[in-house]
Amino acid sequence: MHSKSMLVLGLMSGTSADGIDVALSQISGAPPRLKAKLLGRTSVRFQPAIRKEILRVAEQGPISAGALSQLHFRLGEVFASAALAGCRGFRVSPKKISLIGSHGQTIFHQGPPVDFLGQATASTLQIGEPSIIAARTGITTVGDFRPADIALGGQGAPLVPYADYLLYRDAKLGRISLNLGGIANITVIPAGSNPSQVFAFDTGPANMLIDALVSHFSKGRLHFDKNAQFASQGRSNAALVNELMRDPYLKLRPPKSTGREYYGKGYLQELLKLGRRHRAKPNDLIRAATTFTALSVIDAINRFVRPKAKIHQLIVSGGGAQNPLILGQLAAALPDMEILPSSRFGIPEDAKEAFAFALLAYETFHRRPSNLPSATGARSLAILGKISYAPPR
Ligand SMILES: Nc1ncnc2c1ncn2[C@@H]1O[C@H](COP(=O)(O)OP(=O)(O)O)[C@@H](O)[C@H]1O
Ligand SMILES: [Mg+2]
């Protein structure tokens, strides 16, 4: 089957809600011979008021149905502006772009079913109305990727493993793709594997706790620990880290996914309490949260990956790939693996997930499934997402 080469924009905002990553990609063919190349990337920050409201709502702060609807449509506008800003930056007319894949902004995610009005219910909600994006850009937009997988009994996450498999599979090398966003997740791609042997799950927090501590201690002035400057000045506190490592999430068997519902405000309060109990100064606590991130990834690899697959390379992406303390701890604890930034594969660290959603949109557009049931736990394959067509020209 041959399909023409298409220019596709991927739009992504993760649990950090730091902004929208935009990836311009050129994609052609069909799996297993699909070709995807990243041509450009940019990021657009959220306005502070919008970010604040996203975080408040994602923390399950009260909101009326009306205000939620408004936020949903408003974010559609914000995503559309980011797409258009990307086009200007890449010097590509929107008319040349065939498709947008927009992940949207997750404000709620409950993968495993829980009781709701007497019935077990799983659900997920990504907002940023794709019809607005399609109308403003004139580009057909695929959005709302996760529900189709949940409808088939999956957790609706992670979805990036499909792209990881296409981008990173190797006949001889076993690889892990590690993304350090708000949450850390890994995709395990054994050497010479077929898609059903790929597995993936969230290992725990990546930047979410670090960001929350930095915001808390700076009274909202700063949002993250740039290049681990605060953590590096903190003293390591093994007793505190050991307590964090007792987190029951780490022991749950995959498939599993997590988010702000678990590692959000409530967790921050616990962390602050723990810090006081261990007499940790702010930087000590930031260091402990940073170490916890690295150790929880390492623990997941040792516990759930090593018994199943020989891994030669660990490929790192996401904002946390810029954190030298996390990377240093990974390298020290995993001496048998080569640790490589995704840019070594032509994928800048901060564009990996946006690139993946361009790829998923391309697959949906061609009516091909792109969940990996081995990663999400779904009963079967699903064609993901909903298509909002551009207005006729
Ligand atoms: N230079 C840096 N040093 C340390 N951390 C960084 C750096 N750049 C980005 N980050 C971290 O990465 C986070 C954003 O990562 P990202 O991959 O966009 O996550 P998400 O997908 O959750 O939005 C920021 O909130 C910050 O914690
Ligand atoms: Mg982000």
Cα-based angle 217, 257, 322 (whole degrees, multiple of 5)? 50
Torsion of CA 259, 260, 265, 268, to 10 degrees: 30
In the reported structure, the alpha carbon of residue 322 is separated from the centroid of ligand 2 by a whole-number distance in angstroms of 13
Verdict on whether the full-model pTM lies above 0.85 = yes
**Phi first, then psi: what are they for 184, rounded to 5°?**
-100, 135
Q: Which atom of ligand 1 is nearest to the CA of 180?
A: 17
Q: What is the DSSP string of 168-228?
A: H--SS--EEEEEESSEEEEEEE-TT--GGG-EEEEEEESSHHHHHHHHHHTTTS--S-GGG
Mean pLDDT of the chain: 97
Our mutation pick for probing the ligand 1 site, out of 179, 224, 343, 353, counting the most ligand atoms within 8 A of Cβ, is 224
In the reported structure, the alpha carbon of residue 320 is separated from the centroid of ligand 1 by a whole-number distance in angstroms of 5
Coil/strand/helix, residue 293: helix
Residue that is written with structure tokens 């030298």 in the block: 324
Q: Which residues line ligand 1 (CB under 6 A)?
A: 13-16, 18, 181-182, 207, 210-211, 224-228, 318-320, 322-323, 353
Contacts of 253 (CB under 8 A, 6+ apart): 304
**Phi first, then psi: what are they for 164, rounded to 5°?**
-55, -45
Residue that is written with structure tokens 């995807």 in the block: 36
List, in sequence order, the alpha helices (H) in the chain. 48-58, 65-90, 130-137, 147-151, 161-168, 208-217, 229-233, 238-244, 248-251, 260-263, 265-277, 282-300, 324-333, 352-365, 373-376
Residue of minimum CA distance from atom 14 in ligand 1: 319
pLDDT at 2: 53
Cβ–Cβ < 8 Å for 326, 293: yes
In the reported structure, the alpha carbon of residue 243 is separated from the centroid of ligand 1 by a whole-number distance in angstroms of 25
pLDDT tens, 207-241? 999 999 999 999 999 999 999 999 999 999 999 99
Other CB atoms within a 10 A radius of the CB of residue 47 amount to: 10
Residue of minimum CA distance from atom 8 in ligand 1: 319
**Phi first, then psi: what are they for 88, rounded to 5°?**
-60, -45
CA 298 to CA 240: how far, in whole Å? 17
Task: Specify the DSSP class assigned to residue 246.
Answer: T
User: pLDDT per position in the chain (393 positions), as tens?
Assistant: 456 899 999 999 999 999 999 999 999 999 989 999 999 999 999 999 999 999 999 999 999 999 999 999 999 999 999 999 999 999 999 999 999 999 999 999 999 999 999 999 999 999 999 999 999 999 999 999 999 999 999 999 999 999 999 999 999 999 999 999 999 999 999 999 999 999 999 999 999 999 999 999 999 999 999 999 999 999 999 999 999 999 999 999 998 889 998 999 999 999 999 999 999 999 999 999 999 999 999 999 999 999 999 999 999 999 999 999 999 999 999 999 999 999 999 999 999 999 999 999 999 999 999 999 999 999 999 999 999 999 998
Write out the residues surrounding ion ligand 2, Cβ under 5 A.
Answer: 14, 16, 18
Beta bridge partners of 32: none
Our mutation pick for probing the ligand 1 site, out of 20, 207, 329, counting the most ligand atoms within 8 A of Cβ, is 207
CA 105 to CA 51: how far, in whole Å? 11
Cβ–Cβ < 8 Å for 306, 171: no
Cα-based angle 170, 171, 173 (whole degrees, multiple of 5)? 60
Our mutation pick for probing the ligand 1 site, out of 322, 349, 352, counting the most ligand atoms within 8 A of Cβ, is 322
In the reported structure, the alpha carbon of residue 231 is separated from the centroid of ligand 1 by a whole-number distance in angstroms of 15
In the reported structure, the alpha carbon of residue 319 is separated from the centroid of ligand 1 by a whole-number distance in angstroms of 3
pLDDT at 342: 97
3-state secondary structure 41-89: EEEEECCHHHHHHHHHHHCCCCCCHHHHHHHHHHHHHHHHHHHHHHHHH
104: left (phi over 0), alpha (psi -120 to 50) or beta: left
Our mutation pick for probing the ligand 1 site, out of 12, 16, 317, counting the most ligand atoms within 8 A of Cβ, is 16
Q: Which atom of ligand 1 is nearest to the CA of 183?
A: 22
In the reported structure, the alpha carbon of residue 289 is separated from the centroid of ligand 1 by a whole-number distance in angstroms of 14
Residue of minimum CA distance from atom 11 in ligand 1: 319
